[in-house]
Structures are given as structure tokens and as C-alpha cells.
């Protein structure tokens, strides 16, 4: 299996997005070369039709893995921002709508594959051909902007994921260092742990910078497979331990509000759509199946499992910790060695995944930049861009040190566009000339409007919370769990 399919991303496996991104020609060649890795063989055949397909079970596993990341850890706080009744119901509805938009994208891509006799159509090309199919001559003449828009949002999304990772790494490592001298081996007795003051969380972010730079300087996907395996194993073990802990000792939920303030609901929307945003993985998976006719059923099954899992963890996490829930549920775990090891495992997993998430924007930006300079400057420019992008993610993380706001902001700005706004509009443009019912147009318009309202309201609320003087404390995510 290729590293590009191994990486578990928040809300979208990085690697799989390599196949769905609209990239320069050099990145497209890389895309074809990696398509032969999925079944575990080292074949580098560039003929997609000759690549051995993956089974139904493998497709389901890749789809589930593509959705698992840091986003799920922020869902309990998201449920708090919506209410104990409104939050879970909203997660169920959002999961259904996200799944429906994925089906729309697959159908549109299949239609253009048949029309142009191509074996595979990525997200950007599908949007471009969708604009070409409209009766508007202006949209037809500017159809190439469809590919550029998808590439832009992919870059913003992936770099946003990297910013989330930097904040997550700093918050969790800071908490581990603060309580490591008071850590106990007993995870069940109630006891208060007094944290030892340490350096500012922003200094922890800077301390990770050299390691992140070294990781992104690895340009060989085969070498990165090792980091992908470490990330998957550590995050899976951590999530299982977290799930068994939050399911125990749930207090009486009667005092929790059924619906939270409407002012905090946009923050719920941003975090939730950040978690569900894996629409970039569906086309590569559908293309690599042995029998793609079964993909819609696998997609529905996988998204149903993810929706139920997200709703369960978000609801149970809020029920377990109530008003004390933190931006990442790992920050609420007790200070015993078992749960500190969970935080350390997740730190390792996220540190390894950073390089894999970073690979997507790098493969969109770097080939274009390198093509503009003489060959002797190609490698220095490549490394400089990687260094600059890592520094950019670190700077943005320092400027927005609250994990919950970073999650919501990234989800509202870019994830809503890729997952909710573009696919319904794509269905209208694809089928308009062939005849499309008014009911379908109305449905698609409502979904896009929902995505746009979430985009505007979520972005505004996240920025408003960020600019609030009392809420912009760098330690806001690092409160030590007391039990």
C-alpha cells in the first residue's frame, strides 16, 4: 500500500488526496506512479487500467482510515457548543449531507469519464468539466478556474491541518511536562494534581519546528511509509483507550442544556465539518476498486460507521466531562501513566502525520515554482519552499494558539467549500443541459446555501472569539485535568 493511502488525516487521508488534487504535470506523473502501490506491490506502472484493484473490504478500511484524525478529538467540545440534544442530531444530519455530497461527486466524475472516455477523473478536473458543460459562455471560457479553486482549497485545508497539528502537539506536550513529576500509576482513585509551571505553549510550538522541517525534507514517499505506519498504529491504540475511558462513570446528564447558545453553534459547525471533510478520498478509492459498481454501497456503509462513531464519541465525551471539556479530549484524561502514554502516542502519531498532510500542498506548489527557475536552482528552491511553508504553519499556530478556534476556522473556511458548497453546484452544472428536475436544483441550492452560511458564520464567530481579549490566552487549552 502506498504511503499516500496509509496516512490517517483528520478528516481526510492526506495521501489519498494526492490522487484527487489538481496539480501541475509533474505532480500528475507522481500521482499515476503511486497508483500502483495500493495493493502492496511496488509496481510503478503508469497505466491505471492495469493496476490491480482493491477489494470491497480494503476500500472500506481506507475510507474509515481517511476520516480518522485530530478532528474526532474536538467533537465533544463541538457538542457542548451545540447542546446535548442539538449537537448529536446535527452530527447525524451533517454526516448524511456529507455522504450525499460524496455520492454527487462520484456520479459527476463517472459521467465525465464516460463522456471523455477516461479511466479516472480527479476533483479539480471534474469541476472544470462541470463548468464547461454549463450553457453560460463566460463559465465555459473560465472553466479552468474550477481546477484552480479546488487546488486552492486543498492547499488551505491541508496547511490548516498542519496548523492544527502544531497547536495539538504543543498543548499535549505542555500538559505532559507540567504533570510528569506528579503522575501516578493509579488511574482510578480521585486525586488532585498540581501542575508545575512551564514555558509558554508558543515556545513548545517553536521547539517542534526543527523536527517538522526535517520531516518535510523527506521527499521520498517510500521512506515516509514508515512514518505513516507509526502514525496509524499510535493513533488507533490511543483512540481505543480514550473510547473505553469516556464510556465509564458518566454523571447525570439532566443538568446539561439541550441546546446551546446560537452564538456558539457556528463553532460547532466548523469543528464538525472539519472532522467530516474527507471528500477528497472518494474518487481515488472508487477508481482503484476491483469492481467500482459496489463503491456507492461501500461509501454509504463507511460514512454511516463514521457518523455513528463521531456522534458517539462527541456525545459521550461531553456527557463524561460536561462543562470541563477541553478543545481536545486528550487534555481531559487523568494524570496517570496509562493516559499520559495515550497523549504521547498521539503526539507521535500527529508528528508523523504532519509530513504526510504537508505533502499535498507541497506537490501542488513546488512543481510549479521549480519549473520557473533553472535546473541548478530546483533543489534549493524546493527545500526553501518546504522550510517556508513549515514556518508559515508554525507562525499561524502561534498567532491562533487555541485549538478549538483553529479547528473551527479551518473547517469553516475550506472544508465547507470542498464538502458542502462545490458538490451540489457541480451536480447542477453537470446535468443542467441534459435536464434536471426543479426538486434536485432546490435540494442542491439548499445544501450549498447551508455550506455558505456555515462558512460565513463559522469564520466570523471563530475570528470574533479569537479577537476577544479574554479568550485569546495561550494556556486556554492546557488546563490540567483534576480528578
Answering whether pTM is above 0.75, one says: yes
| Residue 319, all three cell numbers | 456527557
CA atoms within 13 A on the CB side of 155: 17
- The CA radius of gyration of the chain, in Å to the nearest whole number, is 22
**pLDDT tens digits for the chain (483 residues)?**
333 333 444 444 333 433 333 344 444 443 443 333 333 333 333 343 334 577 888 788 778 776 777 788 889 999 999 999 999 999 999 999 999 999 999 999 999 998 888 888 888 889 999 999 888 889 889 899 999 999 898 888 888 888 988 988 888 888 888 877 666 666 665 455 566 677 788 888 999 999 999 988 887 766 666 776 777 788 788 888 888 888 887 888 888 889 888 888 998 998 888 888 677 778 878 888 888 888 899 999 989 999 998 999 999 999 998 888 888 888 888 877 788 888 888 888 888 778 877 887 888 899 889 988 888 898 899 999 999 999 999 999 898 878 788 888 888 888 888 889 999 999 999 998 888 889 999 999 999 999 999 999 988 888 888 777 554 443 344 333 333
Task: Examine residue 330 and state whether it is found in any structural domain, yes or no.
Answer: yes
What is the pLDDT, as a whole number, of residue 399?
Answer: 87
Beta bridge partners of 54: 289
Beta bridge partners of 184: 336
What is the pLDDT, as a whole number, of residue 213?
Answer: 92
What is the pLDDT, as a whole number, of residue 428?
Answer: 93
Dist CA 193 CA 184 (whole Å): 9
| Residue 114, all three cell numbers | 464516460
**Enclosing domain of residue 397:** 3-471
Dist CA 77 CA 454 (whole Å): 18
What is the pLDDT, as a whole number, of residue 20?
Answer: 38
CA dihedral 217, 170, 279, 90 (to 10 degrees): 180
| Residue 222, all three cell numbers | 517510500
Residue 438 neighbours by CB distance under 10 Å: 7
The CATH number linked to 326 is 1.20.1740.10
Q: How far apart are the first and last CA of the chain?
A: 43
Burial of 251 (0-12, 13-18, 19+ CB in 10 A): exposed
Least Cα distance to 449 among 437, 438, 461, 441 occurs for 441
Q: Please, are residues 255 and 84 in contact by the beta-carbon 8 Å criterion? A: no
| CA distances for 151 relative to 107, 124, 145, 154, 391, angstroms | 21, 7, 10, 5, 21
Task: Examine residue 428 and state whether it is found in any structural domain, yes or no.
Answer: yes
Domain count, the chain: 1
Helices and strands (H and E) in the chain: how many: 20, 0
Task: Examine residue 378 and state whether it is found in any structural domain, yes or no.
Answer: yes
Dist CA 39 CA 56 (whole Å): 12
| CA distances for 162 relative to 209, 212, 407, 438, 465, angstroms | 12, 10, 11, 41, 21
Least Cα distance to 340 among 167, 169, 168, 184 occurs for 184
The label of the residue with cell 500542498 reads: 361
Q: Is the dihedral of CA 180, 184, 188, 192 positive or negative?
A: negative
Beta bridge partners of 336: 184
| Residue 83, all three cell numbers | 447542546
Q: Is the dihedral of CA 246, 411, 417, 117 positive or negative?
A: negative
Task: Examine residue 380 and state whether it is found in any structural domain, yes or no.
Answer: yes
What is the pLDDT, as a whole number, of residue 329?
Answer: 87
Dist CA 474 CA 458 (whole Å): 21
Residues 6+ apart with CB under 8 A from 467: none
Amino acid at each position: 500500500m502506498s504511503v499516500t493511502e496509509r496516512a490517517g488525516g483528520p478528516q481526510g487521508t492526506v495521501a489519498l488526496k494526492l490522487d484527487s488534487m489538481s496539480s501541475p504535470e509533474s505532480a500528475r506523473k507522481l500521482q499515476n506512479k503511486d497508483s500502483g502501490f495500493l495493493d502492496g506491490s511496488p509496481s510503478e506502472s503508469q497505466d491505471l487500467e492495469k493496476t490491480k484493484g482493491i477489494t470491497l473490504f480494503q476500500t472500506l478500511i481506507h475510507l474509515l482510515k481517511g476520516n480518522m484524525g485530530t478532528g474526532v478529538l474536538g467533537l465533544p467540545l463541538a457538542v457542548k457548543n451545540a447542546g446535548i440534544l442539538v449537537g448529536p442530531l446535527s452530527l447525524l444530519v451533517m454526516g448524511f449531507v456529507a455522504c450525499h455530497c460524496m455520492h454527487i461527486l462520484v456520479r459527476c466524475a463517472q459521467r465525465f469519464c464516460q463522456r471523455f472516455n477516461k479511466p479516472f477523473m480527479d476533483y479539480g478536473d471534474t469541476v472544470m468539466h462541470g463548468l464547461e458543460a454549463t450553457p453560460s459562455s463566460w463559465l465555459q471560457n473560465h472553466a479552468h478556474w474550477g481546477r484552480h479553486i479546488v487546488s486552492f482549497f486543498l492547499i488551505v485545508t491541508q496547511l490548516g491541518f498542519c496548523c492544527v497539528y502544531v497547536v495539538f502537539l504543543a498543548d499535549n506536550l505542555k500538559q505532559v511536562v507540567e504533570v510528569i513529576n506528579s503522575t501516578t500509576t493509579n488511574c482510578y482513585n480521585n486525586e488532585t494534581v498540581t501542575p508545575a509551571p512551564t514555558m509558554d505553549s508558543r515556545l513548545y510550538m517553536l521547539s517542534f519546528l526543527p523536527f517538522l522541517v526535517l520531516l518535510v525534507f523527506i521527499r521520498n514517499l517510500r521512506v515516509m511509509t514508515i512514518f505513516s505506519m507509526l502514525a496509524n498504529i499510535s493513533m488507533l491504540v490511543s483512540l481505543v483507550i480514550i473510547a473505553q475511558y469516556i464510556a465509564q462513570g458518566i454523571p447525570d446528564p439532566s443538568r446539561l442544556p439541550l441546546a446551546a447558545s446560537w452564538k456558539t453553534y457556528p463553532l460547532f459547525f466548523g469543528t464538525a465539518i472539519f472532522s467530516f471533510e474527507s471528500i477528497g478520498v472518494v474518487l481515488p478509492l472508487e477508481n482503484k476498486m476491483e469492481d467500482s459498481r459496489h463503491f456507492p454501497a461501500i461509501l454509504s456503509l463507511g460514512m454511516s460507521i463514521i457518523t455513528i462513531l463521531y456522534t458517539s464519541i462527541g456525545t459521550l465525551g461531553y456527557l463524561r466531562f460536561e462543562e470541563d471539556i477541553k478543545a481536545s479530549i486528550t487534555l481531559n484524561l487523568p494524570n496517570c501513566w496509562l493516559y499520559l502514554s495515550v497523549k504521547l502516542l498521539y503526539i507521535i502519531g500527529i508528528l508523523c502525520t504532519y509530513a504526510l498532510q504537508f505533502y499535498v500542498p507541497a506537490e501542488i506548489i513546488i512543481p510549479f515554482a521549480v519549473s520557473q527557475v533553472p535546473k541548478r536552482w530546483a533543489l534549493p528552491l524546493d527545500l526553501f519552499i518546504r522550510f517556508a511553508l513549515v514556518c508559515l504553519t508554525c507562525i499561524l499556530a502561534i498567532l491562533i494558539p487555541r485549538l478549538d478556534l483553529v479547528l473551527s476556522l479551518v473547517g469553516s473556511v475550506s472544508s465547507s467549500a470542498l464538502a458542502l458548497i462545490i458538490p451540489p453546484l457541480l451536480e447542477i452544472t453537470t446535468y443542467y443541459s441534459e435536464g434536471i428536475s426543479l426538486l434536485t436544483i432546490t435540494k442542491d441550492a439548499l445544501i450549498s446555501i447551508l455550506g455558505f452560511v456555515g462558512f460565513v458564520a463559522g469564520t466570523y464567530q471563530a475570528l470574533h472569539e479569537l479577537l476577544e481579549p479574554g479568550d485569546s490566552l495561550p494556556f486556554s487549552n492546557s488546563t490540567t485535568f483534576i480528578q
